[in-house]
Amino acid sequence: MTVRRVMGIETEYGISVAGDPTANAMIASGQVVNAYASSHGVRSGRAGWDYADEAPLRDARGFEMGRGEADPSQLTDIEDPTLANVVLTNGARLYVDHAHPEYSSPEVTTPRGIVTWDRAGEMVMLESVRRLAATPGLAAVNLYKNNTDGKGASYGTHENYLMRRETPFAEVVKHLIPFFVARQAVCGSGRVGIGQDSRTAGFQLSQRADFFEVEVGLETTLKRPIINTRDEPHAVAELYRRLHVIIGDANHCDVANVLKTGMTSLVLAMVEDGCVGLDLTMVKPVATLHAISHDPTLRATATLRDGRTLTAVQVLWEYFGAAQSYLRDRGHDPLEDPDTEEVMTLWEQVLTKLETDPSSCGAELDWVAKLNLLESYRDRDGLAWTDPRLRAIDIQWSDVRPEKGLFHRLRERGRVTTLVDAAAVARAVTEPPEDTRAWFRGKCLEKFAPQIAAASWDSVIFDVPGRHALQRVPMLEPLRGTKAHVGEIMDRSPDVTTLLRELDAAAG
């Protein structure tokens, strides 16, 4: 009955090396990760990633793909010692993924938490860029918080939501496919060019939509599905499933990011409780996904199985109405649950504005803010959508450097709505969330980094002086390991030996 749940977000950043379009992206990405890690006392060869519990080929539909059948890009449970891979003191993971530097946020429990630690990732990447630029002998690297290079390559922004294992996955598929098809009207980040390689001129809502080809599937880098079926909970498998959402864009606008995760969490709550109360099954969801993205007037319609035709905004109104009824029937109290109230308020406000005048959402939504800026250049200079300057503006929009990134300039001028202030983001660069297991992971990295051999979402592995075997501390319950749960133990533990002894005593 709430937007609150354990969730996180992963962003692969676009990368370029100044003056060298043929540069090796994997090497450059490794330099990005190491530049940050080395400046903060975290060595990629030490506090690396624990792959023991990874299972990327396990499918939510009840089977596991054979390793011989899988594309190599799916085998994310194989450690590559040549790639930089570190855990940060804020509980996040920073590593090289498919030739891109990726920042995976720590686990949070609210949409505002997503915004806070996602923007902290932008600060991490910015520091890496600045350090590399100041390092003699290394070429300057630029990073972009976007999802395509405009030439046919796409890289992801993935969301993760912890959900109840008992929920039939068929219900997830049924209700979330139409929601994800329509959701881009609110949380698309906008893109110059139509088609995977941008061969058709124009502007569209989403950077990722054209790269999706099927409705349901296990893959993430080929034959991309609207619903990803990877069943890798990083938690107690008997109780939880992790919904791995690969269809979102990288958002800069706080409102869009809050709505992306908040709306999704609420729809998922309704699915878990069997209370969606409507059937919006679409006849051709993949084709409809593309058509909606290609029409920034928001007039494109989806044909439903029951014969109705609805625009993306109308589909989202249907889900909004269902969420209103769901919350009302369960006695939702806005004072007791301000996070849910904020999402519902913003959801209604944004849909109302999109329905009457989409261009009025420039302060809230990425695609609208970007389109408004592009149209101003088009009007001023008489530019057609085929003009390469517009594609350059599209890329520059997402540059992580404040002095270069066009979105940053809009925010500095007060042209976009800010929900999380810069001070909170700055704290989140080094501090973990206090209300999930990320707090324990991050504080261990801060206090005991030399004794940590590896870590993952659900474990920390210590190399304890005097012990021959490595000591694993499991963290399968994401809401344990919080500051409230183990803060006092951490405070009174001057070393790892004491910490492990105190944890054993508390557990026993």
CA-closest candidate to residue 219, choices 73, 54, 62, 95: 73
Residue 263's closest CA among 198, 319, 191?
Answer: 319
Q: Phi, psi (5° rounding) for residue 417?
A: -75, 125
| CB neighbour list of residue 304: distance below 8 Å, 6 or more residues apart | 178, 280, 281, 282, 283, 310
Residue with tokens 């809230």: 364
**The one catalytic residue among 50, 97, 210, 394:** 97
Residue of 112, 113, 79, 115 whose CA lies nearest to 96: 79
* Cα gap 436→140, rounded to integer Å: 36
Residue 169: what are its φ and ψ, rounded to 5°? -65, -25
Q: In the beta sheet, which residues pair with residue 11? A: 103, 157
50 flagged as catalytic: no
Give the SS3 label for residue 502: helix
Give the C-alpha separation, 262 to 347, whole Å: 9
CA distances from 376 to 206, 295, 369, 405 (A): 20, 19, 11, 17
Backbone angles phi, psi at 44, to 5 degrees: -65, -20
Q: DSSP state, 299?
A: -
User: In the structure encoding, which two tokens stand for residue 269, read together?
Assistant: 């709550």
Q: Which of 1, 4, 9 is nearest to 339 (CA)?
A: 4
Q: Residues with catalytic annotation?
A: 97
